[in-house]
């Protein structure tokens, strides 16, 4: 298949997946039709890994989950009508889960490319029922905590530290920025490697479908396998309540850029892990009961990471990063993090972090209007709900140190009169609650701190 013609491709194949515990390298192999094999590698440092028989079997199940989820990067290139799994079989529950994750996790990809994936993604059911329930492995009490370099994971790390939970700060890829942020925690670190099949980049140049994928689901599966190799009983992410809500597009409906960070995906993966992989391996998001504003309030309580963190997506690209400037100041993530932190930080501290006052720049009006869902929909980024942005802006509009800034003054003058004052209060958005998968004993220790 020297030339990639997506319209002629009929089948996407999950060819095989292998893990060598001596080298710590997993190989995930895919193909279109009878074309060349596409091999992705995930590298787990610290090999060789000594696995007894029950943990080796759990690792095999985790490897299959990773194989299935990572396949989304390749499947999307052609979106062919048939999916085939060559090397193993999955039951009806796993089939249903994978179809839900692919359809919703590729929601933005489908919207931008004018595709409708509903009813089009069909995984094969290879067996009627699941295997015997996953065993208790007796995993040690230890958390692998995903770090992305932004405020959210740092809030989780400090909360777990305060609760006395032993943890290893974990990330995928070679980001210098994340490595520096992880080092700042002073905790043990674990950096996993991931290399996409190089053919995929060539296919993209030749006209493959391309776009956003559910990368959090993929990284979750990588860390589940890592937990088994390192003998840890928890995989912890930092996805907040707001992640479950997408952008409402007129004529289309809701499209959630961060669907794989939302509650439904966490629920599906967490239940699958405990049913199919290990009954005592807990996958959860520590911040699920919090809104973005509640997370911002928690982060503002320490300045330990002010010079190290960044949520700016322009710093994170698949082909490299620009770590010199940690905040570009013009992307939706920069806009939202600045706005979310502003009610909870002294103004000089916040302006010092970003290097400038984003709310006093009339050139930023369009970006902040999208956050407010004013004359535009919420950006396709990991940002909070429109109500959170409106409440934060309203709070600043009442503070002397902020209300003269160009965008805050404009909000007070033009936008605020159109809004219901009852929906602009911050306090209700800071309440802690809702569905989550946090272990009960840990949640009891954390709840008071998060609510204060």
Tokens of 171: 């990330």
Question: What pLDDT is recorded for position 384?
Answer: 76
Task: Count the neighbouring beta carbons within 10 Å of the beta carbon of residue 78.
Answer: 21
DSSP assignments along 206-225, one per residue: TT-------HHHHHHHHHHH
State CA 352 to chain mean position distance: 27
Question: What pLDDT is recorded for position 91?
Answer: 94
- Evaluate whether 246 touches 193 at the Cβ level (below 8 Å): no
- Evaluate whether 184 touches 302 at the Cβ level (below 8 Å): no
* HSE-CB of 326 using CA atoms within 13 angstroms: 22
End-to-end CA distance of the chain: 59
**Whose structure tokens read 């959630």?**
256
Helix (H) or strand (E) holding 144: strand 143-146
Question: What pLDDT is recorded for position 374?
Answer: 87
Q: Any residues with CB less than 8 A from the CB of 215 and at least 6 apart, and which? A: 260
Question: What pLDDT is recorded for position 181?
Answer: 94
Helix (H) or strand (E) holding 103: helix 92-105
State CA 275 to chain mean position distance: 22
- Burial classification of residue 163, based on how many CB atoms lie within 10 Å of its CB (0-12 exposed, 13-18 middle, 19 or more buried): middle
Question: What pLDDT is recorded for position 320?
Answer: 47
**Strands across the sheet containing 25-32:** 82-85, 11-20, 25-32, 38-43, 189-195, 167-172, 143-146, 234-237, 282-285
C-alpha dist (Å) from residue 187 to 177, 184, 296, 432, 442: 16, 8, 22, 27, 20
State CA 286 to chain mean position distance: 13
Tokens of 22: 């001596």
- Evaluate whether 32 touches 206 at the Cβ level (below 8 Å): no
Closest CA to 282 of 443, 132, 416: 443
C-alpha dist (Å) from residue 401 to 299, 343, 406, 417: 21, 11, 12, 21
Domain boundary assignment for the chain: 6-285, 309-430
- The backbone region for 43, taken as left when phi is positive above 0, alpha when psi lies in -120 to 50, beta otherwise, is beta
Question: What pLDDT is recorded for position 130?
Answer: 64
Can you tell me the distance from the alpha carbon of 51 to that of 228, in angstroms, rounded to the nearest whole number? 9
Can you tell me the distance from the alpha carbon of 199 to that of 35, in angstroms, rounded to the nearest whole number? 11
Question: What pLDDT is recorded for position 343?
Answer: 98
Can you tell me the distance from the alpha carbon of 365 to that of 358, in angstroms, rounded to the nearest whole number? 10
Helix (H) or strand (E) holding 100: helix 92-105
Question: What pLDDT is recorded for position 251?
Answer: 62
pLDDT in tens, the chain (452 residues): 458 999 999 999 999 999 999 999 999 999 999 999 999 999 999 999 999 999 999 999 999 999 999 999 999 999 999 999 999 999 999 999 999 999 999 988 998 899 999 899 999 998 766 677 899 999 999 999 999 989 999 999 999 999 999 999 999 999 888 999 999 999 999 999 999 999 999 999 999 999 999 999 999 999 999 999 999 999 999 999 877 665 555 666 666 667 899 999 999 999 999 999 999 999 999 999 999 999 999 999 999 999 999 888 765 444 444 445 679 888 888 999 999 999 999 999 999 999 999 999 999 998 999 899 887 665 565 677 889 999 999 999 999 999 999 999 999 999 999 999 999 999 999 999 999 999 999 999 999 889 87
- Evaluate whether 169 touches 187 at the Cβ level (below 8 Å): yes
- Evaluate whether 180 touches 31 at the Cβ level (below 8 Å): no
Can you tell me the distance from the alpha carbon of 151 to that of 300, in angstroms, rounded to the nearest whole number? 9
Decide the pairing of beta strands 38-43 and 25-32.
antiparallel
């Amino acid at each position: 298949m020297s030339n990639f013609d997506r319209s002629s491709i009929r089948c996407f194949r999950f060819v095989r997946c292998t893990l060598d515990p001596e080298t710590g390298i997993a190989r995930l192999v895919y193909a279109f039709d009878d074309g060349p094999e596409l091999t992705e590698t995930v590298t787990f440092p610290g090999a060789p890994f000594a696995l007894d028989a029950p943990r080796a079997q759990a690792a095999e199940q985790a490897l299959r989950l990773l194989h299935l989820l990572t396949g989304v990067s390749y499947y999307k290139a052609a979106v062919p009508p048939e999916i085939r799994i060559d090397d193993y079989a999955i039951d009806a529950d796993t089939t249903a889960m994978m179809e839900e994750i692919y359809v919703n996790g590729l929601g933005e990809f489908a919207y931008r490319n004018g595709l409708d994936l509903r009813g089009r993604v069909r995984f094969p059911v290879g067996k009627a029922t699941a295997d015997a329930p996953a065993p208790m492995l007796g995993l040690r009490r230890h958390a692998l905590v995903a770090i992305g370099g932004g405020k959210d994971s740092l809030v989780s790390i400090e909360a777990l530290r305060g609760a006395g939970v032993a943890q290893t700060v974990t990330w995928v890829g070679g980001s210098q920025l994340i490595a520096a942020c992880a080092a700042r925690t002073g905790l043990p670190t674990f950096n996993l490697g991931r290399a996409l099949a190089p053919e995929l980049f060539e296919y993209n140049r030749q006209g493959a479908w391309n776009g956003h994928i559910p990368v959090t689901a993929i990284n979750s599966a990588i860390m589940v396998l890592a937990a088994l190799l390192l003998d840890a009983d928890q995989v912890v992410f930092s996805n907040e309540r707001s992640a479950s809500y997408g952008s409402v597009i007129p004529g289309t409906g809701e499209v959630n850029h961060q669907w794989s960070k939302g509650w439904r995906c966490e629920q599906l993966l967490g239940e699958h892990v405990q049913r199919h992989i290990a009954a005592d391996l807990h996958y959860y998001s520590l911040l699920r009961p919090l809104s973005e504003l509640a997370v911002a309030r928690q982060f503002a309580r320490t300045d330990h990471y002010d010079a190290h963190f960044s949520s700016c997506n322009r710093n994170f690209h698949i082909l490299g990063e620009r770590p010199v400037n940690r905040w570009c100041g013009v992307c939706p993530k920069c806009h939202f993090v600045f706005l979310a932190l502003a009610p909870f930080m002294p103004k000089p501290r916040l302006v010092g972090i970003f290097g400038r006052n984003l709310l006093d720049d009339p050139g930023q009006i369009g970006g902040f209007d999208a956050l407010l869902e004013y004359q535009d929909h919420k950006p396709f980024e990991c940002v909070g709900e429109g109500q959170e942005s409106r409440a934060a802006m309203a709070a600043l509009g009442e503070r002397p140190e902020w209300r003269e800034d160009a965008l805050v003054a404009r909000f007070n003058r033009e936008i605020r009169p159109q809004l219901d004052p009852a929906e602009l209060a911050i306090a209700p958005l800071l309440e802690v609650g809702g569905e989550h998968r946090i272990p009960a004993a840990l949640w009891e220790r954390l709840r008071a701190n998060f609510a204060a």
